[in-house]
Amino acid sequence: MPPRNLNIIIIAAAISLLCYATHRRARPAMIVGDALNLIDSYYVDPVDSEALLIAAMNGMTSTLDENSEYIPGAAYESFQDNINQEFAGIGIYVEATEDGGPVRVRTPLVGSPALKAGFLPGDLIVKVDGEDVSKMPLPDVSNRLRGPVGTTVKITVRRPERTTETNTDTAAVAEPDADADNTVDDNTVDDDQVADNQVAEVPYEEKLLTVTRARIELESVAGDYRDEHDHWVFRLREDPTIGYIRLTSFGEKSTDEMKRALAQLDNNFRGLVLDLRGNGGGLLHTAADISDMFLNAGNIVTTRTRGGVIESRFDAEPGTLVDPKKPFAILIDGNSASASEIVSACMQDNHRAIVVGTRSYGKGTVQNILPLQFGRSALRLTVARYYRPSGANIHRTQDATDDDEWGVTPDDGMIVELDEESLIKVARRWTEAAYPALAVEMMSESDDSTVSTSTMIDPQLRRAVETLKTQIEETTPESEAA
């Protein structure tokens, strides 16, 4: 056989194998595509093709783990904004109202165009650029508020007038005499008198606010409180010798934010608290970078792909941003997940920090974001599991029990549960510290005029600080202590 013919046969065989492999992979997609077309053509009622596609993708990912999902267009854009910690908009947090009414402003962000334009917590958004949005769902209103940087948007808000009128003649409803019978006579105060002395229904006013959209940066690193310039102070107000940093997520900018916070502290503290409570995680490399700030050496985390094959190993590099001799505590709770568990497990296994609070969530998987439709949507797919330096498992499976190995458990004697009242107080304090505009509103609505420090209302933080101070006393020479 001539060599030329042999080459032709080999090329034809290679092409045939390639076509066969492609067909095998494409066949399921063809079936899904055919089903979508048949439904679109013959179903008894009109259908939304995009809704069908989303349902099909959700059906596929529902057979995987709970962290794998299809992210459609609008949600993908929002997801990217959260990871990148920035978006183009006016800088407000909005929420749906309980009665299905207009979208409500939760709070304008510090330094945002919305704050400068005069937005207040509680404002109801009724019009955007003249269009009535009072009955639109939250996502539709949010989309209209966002837009290219530098463009302007006119927003009509409805807000309660800040003054209420009451009858100044209070003698008619004076408090009963302490020595008198507490039984109220029907004739003591007539109906007209009661009506005159009730607080009048709060009237509303509408305001037109013009805002220029800007690039809004979302911060992930917070302190105990803000100073007069709205800058975070990374020290406890009641004891400035104790550093305090709260990390809310692990985004693209979190590493630089953490570096700036530690640079501000400049190791000028006796002990440090890193608060990871409520932090649902984020980027793996960010968790590794932040862990490296506290370690001179040692393993941070290891990831393994299908079959337990080690994909990557993150180890600490020489040098730290925090003096290794400084006592260090980490706070976690049941909502501390993923990257939060990487940091807390790393510090615990390397004996660098005490861990205080309650057992973490138990999310020990790594997801990759795989773009679809030329970047208009994406598939969030679990591709690996990660393991703490000790080699122990972190991920909590669906059938796991409390006795199984998963998550991060606080050190001995450091488990501190929070009751519902304490949870509310801690969440309120975080909100007041993060959003000064909202803090004013909350203080005006609160009956509690007393000022409480962080450790007074937060038993977990109090335990961490007490433990740090005990460690400080144990390591301080007597001559220095004197």
Instruction: Give residue 108's pLDDT.
Output: 92
Whole-number percent of the chain with pLDDT over 90: 60
Residues 273 and 206 grouped into a single domain = no
Query: Residues 396, 428: contact at Cβ < 8 Å?
Result: no
The residue annotated as part of the active site, out of 340, 349, 360, 458, is 349
Q: Please tell me whether the overall predicted TM-score, pTM, comes out greater than 0.85 for this model.
A: no
Residues 209 and 264 grouped into a single domain = no
| 170: pLDDT strictly greater than 90 | no
- Domain CATH for 137: 2.30.42.10
Closest CA to 157 of 139, 146, 141: 141
- Domain CATH for 347: 3.90.226.10
Residue-wise pLDDT for 83-109, tens only, equals 888 888 999 999 998 888 899 999 999
CA gap 473, 481 in Å, rounded: 8
Work out the angle at residue 100's Cα, subtended by the Cα atoms of residues 97 and 101, and round it to the nearest 5 degrees: 75
Residues 213 and 258 grouped into a single domain = no
At 5, which helix (H) or strand (E)? helix 3-42
CA gap 21, 24 in Å, rounded: 5
Is residue 363 annotated as part of the catalytic site, yes or no? yes
Residues 421 and 349 grouped into a single domain = yes
Residue-wise pLDDT for 391-443, tens only, equals 999 999 989 999 999 999 999 999 999 999 999 999 999 988 988 877 666 55
> In one letter, which amino acid is 7?
N
Is residue 338 annotated as part of the catalytic site, yes or no? yes
Query: Residues 331, 276: contact at Cβ < 8 Å?
Result: yes
The residue annotated as part of the active site, out of 338, 340, 377, 454, is 338
The residue annotated as part of the active site, out of 363, 377, 454, 458, is 363
Residue-wise pLDDT for 13-63, tens only, equals 666 655 555 545 555 667 777 888 888 888 888 888 888 888 888 988 999
Residue-wise pLDDT for 367-396, tens only, equals 999 998 888 899 999 999 999 999 999 999
Strand partners, 127: 132, 156
Residues 210 and 277 grouped into a single domain = no
Is residue 349 annotated as part of the catalytic site, yes or no? yes
Instruction: Give residue 33's pLDDT.
Output: 76
145 inside domain? yes
Instruction: Give residue 482's pLDDT.
Output: 43
Domain count, the chain: 2
2 inside domain? no
| DSSP letter for each residue of 180-207 | S--PPPTTSS-HHHHHHHSPPPPPEEEE
385 inside domain? yes
Work out the angle at residue 95's Cα, subtended by the Cα atoms of residues 91 and 97, and round it to the nearest 5 degrees: 145
Residues 237 and 132 grouped into a single domain = no
CA gap 335, 14 in Å, rounded: 52
Residues 210 and 276 grouped into a single domain = no
DSSP 8-class letter at 66 = T
Strand partners, 460: none
CA gap 312, 299 in Å, rounded: 11
Residues 242 and 321 grouped into a single domain = yes
Domain containing 272: what range?
A: 221-475
